[in-house]
């Protein structure tokens, strides 16, 4: 098995053990496992036997369950369920002759367990974090599209618009969580992780683009219906205005001209009804 040496304390660890160790190492040595041949002191806790068993009251060694919480790796004791983060694992890890044994002693039940499965690697969570950023970008784009379509339509209240935007945000948050769960299911194949993640991204992208296209089509349909309604409204208004003008228009005047030469000496005729003047040539 490949081993790696800590640059601070000089101890050797497996590839997965060095990650946990280096984050907590302060250059000091850890507790060493003392074999039965090396001591007669019964005050030391039950030593690790060649078969991987502890003392008479110690349960068989089991592998811890991997846990990743608040940016830290860790493990869960398979015997009592105590959760230990990477710092806890470091201080309760066991070594023999300065070398990593890949074993830990639970501070609660005093039973020993092996290190968590190394298939769950931090790089995977970095990938998921990057995916989350990409989906948030798409999500925000969808929200903007919805808000824009509603704002242009002026058909919904501010409250309704925000509620619709929040529904879209919640929907895509669920998709992100679903993606993380799927990724965690395939971590056993470390070499295929990135390829699998890319495939999942491609599938999600295709689904998102379809939804965006659907929203865009709905917006275009709404705009077309709006234009048709607006055109019909304008036609109705024009007909109403024409009818109003027709009702307000005066009938043709039956002129009753007066010869102003006889009245005031003016050289024109004037209608006594509408006041129209006609010059006398």
So what's the pLDDT on residue 17? 66
Q: Is the dihedral of CA 148, 150, 154, 158 positive or negative?
A: negative
Are residues 133 and 96 part of one domain? no
Render pLDDT for 225-273 as a digit per residue (tens, 0 to 9).
Answer: 888 888 888 888 888 777 777 666 666 777 788 888 777 777 888 888 7
Are residues 150 and 49 part of one domain? no
The percentage of the chain sitting over the pLDDT mark of 70, rounded to a whole number, equals 49
Are residues 135 and 88 part of one domain? no
So what's the pLDDT on residue 88? 83
- Structural domain includes residue 7: no
Q: Let me know: does 119 contact 187? Beta carbons within 8 Å.
A: yes
What is the C-alpha separation between 72 and 20, in angstroms, rounded? 9
Tokens of 113: 């367990």
**How far lies 163's CA from each of 1, 46, 148, 242, in Å?**
56, 61, 14, 44
Q: Record the pTM.
A: 0.27
Query: Averaged over 33-48, what is the pLDDT?
Result: 37
Are residues 131 and 63 part of one domain? no
Question: Using CB atoms within 10 A of its CB, is residue 114 exposed (0-12), middle (13-18) or buried (19+)?
Answer: middle
Which is nearest to 48 in space by CA: 13, 5, 83, 99? 99
Q: Which of 59, 91, 114 is the last residue of a domain?
A: 114
Are residues 129 and 110 part of one domain? no
Diameter of the chain measured on Cα atoms:
154
- Structural domain includes residue 20: no
Render pLDDT for 138-187 as a digit per residue (tens, 0 to 9).
Answer: 666 666 666 666 566 555 566 666 666 677 667 766 776 777 666 666 55
What is the C-alpha separation between 82 and 74, in angstroms, rounded? 11
Tokens of 19: 């990650």
Tokens of 222: 């709404």
Domain span at residue 129 reads 122-239
Render pLDDT for 185-218 as a digit per residue (tens, 0 to 9).
Answer: 655 555 555 666 667 677 777 777 777 778 778 8
Render pLDDT for 59-111 as a digit per residue (tens, 0 to 9).
Answer: 677 777 777 666 677 788 888 888 888 788 888 888 777 677 778 888 888 88
- Structural domain includes residue 25: no
99, β-bridge pairs? 12, 96
So what's the pLDDT on residue 251? 66
**CA 200: distance to chain centroid?**
15
């Amino acid at each position: 098995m490949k081993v790696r040496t800590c640059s601070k304390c000089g101890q050797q660890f497996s590839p997965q053990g060095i990650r946990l160790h280096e984050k907590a190492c302060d250059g000091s040595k850890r507790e060493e496992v003392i074999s039965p041949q090396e001591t007669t002191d019964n005050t030391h806790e039950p030593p690790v036997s060649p078969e991987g068993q502890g003392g008479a009251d110690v349960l068989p060694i089991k592998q811890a369950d991997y846990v990743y919480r608040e940016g830290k790796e860790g493990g869960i004791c398979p015997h009592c369920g105590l959760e230990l983060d990477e710092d806890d694992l470091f201080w309760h890890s066991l070594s023999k002759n300065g070398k990593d044994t890949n074993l830990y002693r639970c501070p609660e039940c005093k039973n020993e367990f092996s290190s968590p499965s190394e298939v769950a690697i931090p790089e995977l969570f970095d990938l998921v974090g990057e995916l989350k950023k990409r989906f948030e970008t798409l999500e925000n784009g969808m929200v903007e599209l919805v808000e824009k379509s509603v704002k242009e339509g002026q058909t919904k209240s501010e409250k309704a618009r925000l509620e619709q935007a929040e529904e879209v945000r919640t929907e895509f948050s669920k998709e992100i969580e679903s993606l993380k769960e799927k990724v965690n299911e395939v971590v056993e194949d470390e070499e295929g992780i990135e390829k699998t993640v890319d495939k999942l991204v491609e599938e999600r992208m295709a689904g998102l683009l379809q939804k965006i296209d659907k929203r865009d089509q709905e917006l275009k349909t709404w705009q077309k219906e709006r234009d048709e309604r607006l055109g019909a409204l304008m036609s109705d208004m024009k007909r109403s205005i024409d009818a109003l003008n027709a009702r307000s228009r005066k009938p043709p005047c039956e002129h009753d001209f007066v010869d102003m030469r006889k009245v005031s000496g003016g050289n024109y005729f004037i209608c006594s009804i509408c006041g129209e003047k006609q010059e006398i040539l």
